[in-house]
Amino acid sequence: MSALKLKRFYAEVSVITIEGGSQIFLDGKPLSSPEKNALLLPNVHLSEAMAGEWRAQTKRVAPDTMPLTQLAFTASDRVAPNRAAVIEQITAFANSDVVCYRASKPSDLVMRQKESWDPILEWADVVLGASLLTGEGIGYVEQDYDALCALTAAFSEKSDFYLAALYSLASIGNSLLFALAVAEKEIDAEEAFRCTNCDEIYQSEKWSIAPEARTRLKTRAKEYKVAAQFLMLLNEACPPERTTAAGAPS
């Protein structure tokens, strides 16, 4: 769907449950992606939430007011045809995960990072079997191959929809560990975003930050929350098999 606003071309939005999931219909025609892929959604909860975005459009369709739909389109048109590459890209976030790069001073920032990040490192070690290394400063921290494999195993068999949302979380929060923790309901999105941005929040408390930076932080927090909402909707009565964005279960 174009980033430009388009004239609303439909009157009625409906959701129909079919074998393998559900679909959104606009004036009786099934919604397809910008690349014309059929959009079979995994459950009615996600479909209804997305349908609400389409119903909320007025005279023109504004894609930037439809973030759930945009994530579904990403799953269909970007993730589905490139699953292996996307999985590799998501795993790569672990090499630059914010929780692995620590400050050496001041002491109160060091402590804030420790309190915010150590619990999620322990969770990844105990629950996912991924023990990540940390270091001070910005010098590259090379992660253990087995740890990266363990992280990959935690999401590689998930649906295209899941991968699209997980990528978004990891990218926005600069942390794959927190993205996985949100996906597994270990931590809520608001707290996860606060933790991943504890450095920036610390700086804003100590010194004033530019209005533009504050606006960007708020925008990213909103986007993070949407990606987390998408994952929570996926978790509602999802079928057990891996569902592709393009159509039938694989």
Whether residue 240 has pLDDT greater than 50: no
Around Cβ 219, how many Cβ atoms within 10 Å? 11
Tokens 């494999």 belong to which residue? 149
Q: What is the mean pLDDT of the chain?
A: 91
- Name 82's Cβ contacts closer than 8 Å, sequence gap at least 6: none
Query: For the residues of 65-79, what is the DSSP string, one character each?
Result: G-HHHHHHHHIIIII
Handedness of CA 74, 164, 250, 182 (dihedral sign): negative
How far apart CA 16 and CA 25 sit, in angstroms, is 7
Six-digit token string for 244:
């592709």
pLDDT at position 245 is 52
Around Cβ 66, how many Cβ atoms within 10 Å? 19
Mean pLDDT of 57-61: 94
Residue 24 — φ and ψ, nearest 5°? Answer: -95, 135
pLDDT at position 166 is 98
What SS3 class is residue 93?
helix
* 53 neighbors 69 (Cβ within 8 angstroms): yes
Whether residue 163 has pLDDT greater than 70: yes
pLDDT at position 244 is 42
| pLDDT grade for 243, boundaries at 50, 70 and 90 | very low
Each residue's pLDDT tens digit, 166-210: 999 999 999 999 999 999 999 999 999 999 999 988 888 888 778
Rg from Cα positions in the chain: 20
The per-residue b/e assignment along 13-23, b for 16 or more CB within 10 angstroms, e otherwise, is: bebeeeebbbb
Mean pLDDT of 117-142: 94
Each residue's pLDDT tens digit, 12-34: 999 999 988 999 999 999 999 99
pLDDT at position 190 is 96
* 228 neighbors 5 (Cβ within 8 angstroms): no
Six-digit token string for 77:
């048109």
pLDDT at position 235 is 84
Six-digit token string for 130:
């991924």
Whether residue 82 has pLDDT greater than 90: yes
Mean pLDDT of 113-126: 97
CATH classification of 82-234, choosing from 3.40.50.2000, 2.30.33.40, 3.20.20.70, 1.10.3580.10?
1.10.3580.10
Question: How far does Cα 74 stand from its chain's mean position?
Answer: 11
pLDDT at position 124 is 98
pLDDT at position 49 is 97
What SS3 class is residue 14?
strand
Six-digit token string for 75:
């799953």
How far apart CA 42 and CA 195 sit, in angstroms, is 31
In the chain, where the domains are located: 82-234
Mean pLDDT of 207-227: 89
pLDDT at position 247 is 41
pLDDT at position 219 is 94
pLDDT at position 4 is 57
Whether the bond into 211 is cis, omega within 30 of 0:
no
pLDDT at position 242 is 39
pLDDT at position 65 is 95
